[in-house]
Amino acid sequence: MPKLLPGEALIYERADGVVYARYRDPPHNTIPRWIVGGDPAGIARAQGDLLNYGEWRELCELAEEYPTIKKLLDQLVTMYYTVKDNK
């Protein structure tokens, strides 16, 4: 989000654990709302992330307990580095 417009009133909304802001009055009320805070998991979902950091850590912990998850996670990490190195 670019710098805020001085003197313009904002409306704050909470939805699915995310706090959004938007301008209240025309002509700026056509600017789409933007994220200003909230629950990390909710923000991650709103931004289209597959996992938030807590879920990633939980996945890594489960990989230590479940060999199938560990194998798949190892394959994913290998693929990640392969793609990253080819950029």
Q: What is the pLDDT of residues 17-55, one digit of tens each?
A: 999 999 999 999 999 999 999 999 999 999 999 999 999
pLDDT digits (tens, 9 = 90+) for 45-81: 999 999 999 999 999 999 999 999 999 999 999 999 9
Is pLDDT at 10 greater than 80 in this prediction? yes
DSSP 24: -
Q: Which pLDDT value is given to residue 87?
A: 82
Name the amino acid, one letter, at 7. G
In which order are the strands placed within the sheet that holds 34-38?
10-15, 18-23, 34-38
For residue 2, pLDDT over 80 is answered with no
What are the residue ranges spanned by the domains of the chain? Answer: 1-49, 51-87
